[in-house]
Structure formats: C-alpha cells, structure tokens
Amino acid sequence: MSTDKPAERWYKDAVIYELHVRAFHDGKGDGVGDFVGLTRKLDYLQDLGVSALWLLPFYPSPLRDDGYDISDYFDVHPSYGTLSEFKRFLREAHRRGLKVITELVLNHTSDQHALFQRARRAPPGSRERDFYVWSDSPSKYAEARVIFKDFESSNWTWDPVAKAYYWHRFYSHQPDLNFDNPAVLRHLLKAVDFWLGLGVDGLRLDAIPYLFEREGSSCENLPETHAFLKELRRHVDARFKDRMLLAEANQWPEDAAAYFGSGDECHMAFHFPIMPRLFSALHMEDCFPIVDILKQTPALPDALQWALFLRNHDELTLEMVTDEERDYMYRVYAMDPRARINLGIRRRLAPLLGNHRRKIELINGLLFSLPGTPVLYYGDEIGMGDNIYLGDRNGVRTPMQWSADRNGGFSQADAARLYAPVNADSVYGYQGLNVEAQEQQPCSLLNWMRQLVAARRRHDTFGRGSTEFLDADNRRVLAYFRHGADDDILVVANLSQKAQAVELALGRYAGIQPVEIVGGTLFPRIGVGPYALSFGPYGFYWFSLGCGRRPPAWRNPEVQVPFLPKGTSPESPGLPA
C-alpha cells in the first residue's frame, strides 16, 4: 500500500497519459489544440488520476511527421502557443502533482532546420556539412532496413544543393544527424538543458536505436549509441535531480533492456513486444503469448522500469513478432487493408477490440497490473474510435471528444478549420461518445477507468513488485503474483469469451482472506488445498493477499472508493468481475 510516494523514482509508481497538444483542446478558437486549452483541461486529467503527462512534439516544425520533424529545438510551434504559455502549463501541471514528459528527437531533424539548410550549402568535409550523414553513393550501410516501408524505398536521398546523398532512417524530409560529430552532441545537450532547466521531468528519447551508422551492421543498437547514452545520462545527473529518460527502442526485450545500460543509461524503456501479444492472447484465448514474452524479458533492478502501452500515436507495430504472428494479427485485427500501414495496424483500442466493453476492461486490467508503468493514450479512456481514411497515422490522432457541442467541445472554430475532422460516425461519434456524457453515467468506461487508475495507484506493488507466473491448469486463464515490500497481489484473468473456472495452488497463503482490490470485496479464506475461482467472460480479479499482515486502510467501509461520481457506490455494476 502506498502512503507518501518517494519523489525519486516517481516513474515507478506513475500512470502516464500520452497526449498531443494539437489534439487535446483548442483554447484560442483557431481549430488547433494549444497550451491554453491543455492547461484548462488539467483538472480533468487530475480527476482521471494519472500522475504524468507525456506530450508529443510541440516544437516549430513543418508538421510533415506530426512534429517529429523539428525545425527548432528551443521554442514552441506558434499554432500551439508561446513559450510562456508552455511555462504556465508546466507550473499548473506541477501544482496539481502531475509530472511532465516531453520529446527529445535526437536521431533526425526536419530538412527545414537551419542546421540542415546550412549543411547542404557548406563545402564537403566542413564542420557545418558534417552535422548530417552524406555519401556519394546510395549503396553504403546496405544492411540497414527501411522503417517507413510504405513511403520510402531507400535510406538515402539525393540532395541537388549538396550534390550528395543524405541518410535518413524515416521520411526523406527527416535527415539523420551525424553523431560522429561532437558538435551535434553539444547542440542536443543544449536542448536537454533548456527543457529540463524549465522544469520538465522526463524526456522520451525518440528512435534511439538508430543514432550511429557502421558499415556491415544493421545500424541499430550499436555500442557507440550506448556510449552516447551514458554520456547523456551523466550530463543530466550532474545538473538535475529526479529526472527520467525513457528509451523508445522498438526491439526485442534483450536489445531493449540494453538501453538501461547497467543503470547508467535510461531509467525507463518501452516494452514493445508485449503489446501485440496482449492482443493476440486475447484473440487466441490463450495466456501463452504473454507468459512467453515476459519469460524472455530480463528482470530489472529497482531503479529501472518498463513502460507498457496498448495503443499510442503510431500504428500498432508488428515489427517485434514472428512472420506467423504478424499474419495472424493482420487477419484478426486488420482485415481491411486500409487499416494497415508499414508493418502495423493504424487503429485505436476500442475499434481493435470490436468496441467490446469487457475486452477493453480486461486488457486495461492487464496493462495496469503487469510489471511496468502503464501509459494510456488520450481518448482511449472514453473508448474513442479512429478514422482509417485519414492519411498516414492521422486516423488515431483526431480531436479529443469533450462534449456533444460543436466540434465535440474541442474547438469553437468552424469545422472546416480543424486540423483534423472530429470523429462523427454512428458508433464512435462525438455526439454520443464524449467526456461530458461519460461523466454523467456512473457505469461509463471513463468512470470505470478512474477506479482502475485509483486502485493501481493505491498499491506500490504494481509498479515496484516482482512477478511470478502461476500454472492455472487452464490456458484460457492468466494468473500471476506481484510480490511487493508489504503486499502480495494475485492477478487472475479469463482471456476467453466463455465463463471459465480454475483451481490455483495457493497453499503458501493458507489462512489469508483475499481482498478484491478494485471493489474492496472479501473472498473466501485460502486453505491448504486448491483454491477454486470462476469467472464470467473476460472477467478478472486483482486480489490483495497482504492483509494477513495488516488490514488495508481502503477496506474500511467508511472510506469511499475515490473518483466515483456522486450517488454511486463501489458495488456499482461496471466493476471488474
């Protein structure tokens, strides 16, 4: 049970909410979300119970890759506001106890960045030219794969001004910086100091595996990249306290774990391979994909943490699965070819799961209890839909749906001015699916999510405990312990659309009466024999087994389960299982 959370390692206990300023709320009425609008919505985020906000890139940019094509590292895109509006947002977030994580896009810039414009005009071999990676022939580094394979056929593009090819791992308008040039490092460290100096709490290191290029290699995960990260970490530790670096490395667990170094690189790293396996386990009704990938995942020392997610601003990437698994995922989750992009699926959570409320609850129940820090994608807490007819990954980046008012309450502008159309379809349209409506319905997904977030945050064990899988003798049921300092939690989940039963060997807890965490319900005492449990379709339980040691405060019937709307009780329908 958590009481006062330690300030350091805050990311271990965090619930992170990912959002784009542009998509959240338009405070100025010009059709584009901005910092004024986001600041107004901080109370909503506080009520949801999340503890950290991850902001997608909001810097000056031609916006040809939704801001990951940065043209100036030291300012705010004018459409989103000014630096002082950002600072006010940051102050207001901190006042509410919310940490703020921003993007550090290291690997590349926009081709509109002054550094690139200078480089292409500078003489070959000069310091200015060397900010980027050039070649006379497009055959160098031939073993490096093309990542945006639907859009690019090579990692090299000819520049008629420089009269040379430049290297890019993503879009051709995003030239890669040359990390062999120490001046690049100095420039990026200035950006780090700038944003951390303003008080930003964490940095997501975008596309971190691709910083260096070496002939004869895949140009991913090179030792030079790790040496660079150690230097970055030393730099941050020497100047700032309690800041967090989060690696975006879409890699197998062992390679992703390398981004922790020996505790001297990143504090966190996304766990990419678990994500598609949660979806395939749910469709196969079999716990194997989840158990299997977590068994391949190295255990982490106390200071480090995985970041877990279901959906984000990109496609549901299928890079870290086998060819058979990818075929399976496409078949069951993206029959419509328009839902596919690169090596992945461009859909939000609710449409992926056929808008099945119990499946949405179950997969969140797993996200919030598996080892790591959960990351929620904006709009998924109300079950927003997507629009696969918009280009690129824009279908999962539509405006947040606040109410049934004009433009879903997102903006006062004319609909035609919006940066993207609000979803208005008959199932996920803003007229019926919005925050205001869900705040008024006690059993809405939003209110259910608030309870889940609150339950998770009451128990440090979820963020800090070790994990042990149990053999439930029924592959449709996933069962694991989270062992914490003063609580053991048992998670049992029915991955099937049919009712299921299991008998679990819980003899070592004989005499303890499990308490179901979200609702606070007491279950029958554990004996020395098998412990029988039954579930409805997609039902799950989180049990606290620590109450043998001391009764949890939240079991006191006087204590209200937080964030319930007025007039409802913890026994409301809509709670898990």
Query: Which residues of the shown chain bind ligand BGC in the complex (CB under 6 A)?
Result: 65, 68, 105, 170, 206-207, 248, 313-314
Instruction: Write the CA distances from 462 to 82, 459, 467, 489, integer angstroms.
Output: 38, 6, 9, 8
CA angle 399, 402, 407 (to 5 degrees): 55
Compare residues 21 and 472 and give the one whose CB is closer to ligand BGC. Answer: 21
CA angle 312, 366, 463 (to 5 degrees): 85
Q: What is the 3-state secondary structure (H, E, C) of 497-536?
A: CCCEEEEECCHHHCCCCCEECCCCEECCCCCCCCEEEEEC
- List the beta bridge partners of residue 377: 18
Compare residues 120 and 393 and give the one whose CB is closer to ligand BGC. Answer: 393
Residue number with the shortest CB distance to ligand BGC? 68
Supply the residues annotated as catalytic. Answer: 206, 248
Compare residues 26 and 248 and give the one whose CB is closer to ligand BGC. Answer: 248
CA pseudo-torsion sign 337, 342, 344, 345 = negative
**Minimum distance from residue 206 beta carbon to ligand BGC (Å):** 5
**Minimum distance from residue 59 beta carbon to ligand BGC (Å):** 12
Residue 559 CB neighbours (<10 A):
12
Compare residues 244 and 362 and give the one whose CB is closer to ligand BGC. Answer: 244
C-alpha to C-alpha distance for 502 and 522, rounded to whole angstroms: 19
**Minimum distance from residue 265 beta carbon to ligand BGC (Å):** 17
In this structure, are residues 144 and 156 in contact, taking their beta carbons and an 8 Å threshold? Answer: no
In this structure, are residues 456 and 15 in contact, taking their beta carbons and an 8 Å threshold? Answer: yes
Instruction: Write the CA distances from 399 to 33, 271, 429, integer angstroms.
Output: 8, 27, 11
Compare residues 250 and 447 and give the one whose CB is closer to ligand BGC. Answer: 250
**Minimum distance from residue 60 beta carbon to ligand BGC (Å):** 15
Residue type, 279: F
C-alpha to C-alpha distance for 68 and 73, rounded to whole angstroms: 11
Compare residues 201 and 248 and give the one whose CB is closer to ligand BGC. Answer: 248
**Minimum distance from residue 309 beta carbon to ligand BGC (Å):** 11
Residue type, 294: L
**Minimum distance from residue 485 beta carbon to ligand BGC (Å):** 35
C-alpha to C-alpha distance for 309 and 271, rounded to whole angstroms: 8
Work out whether strand 373-377 and strand 16-19 pair parallel, antiparallel, or are unpaired: parallel
**Minimum distance from residue 103 beta carbon to ligand BGC (Å):** 9
Compare residues 170 and 260 and give the one whose CB is closer to ligand BGC. Answer: 170
In this structure, are residues 383 and 431 in contact, taking their beta carbons and an 8 Å threshold? Answer: no
Residue 357 CB neighbours (<10 A):
16
**Minimum distance from residue 536 beta carbon to ligand BGC (Å):** 37
Closest CA to 373 of 307, 309, 434, 299: 307
Compare residues 207 and 491 and give the one whose CB is closer to ligand BGC. Answer: 207
C-alpha to C-alpha distance for 163 and 119, rounded to whole angstroms: 12
Closest CA to 467 of 366, 548, 577: 366
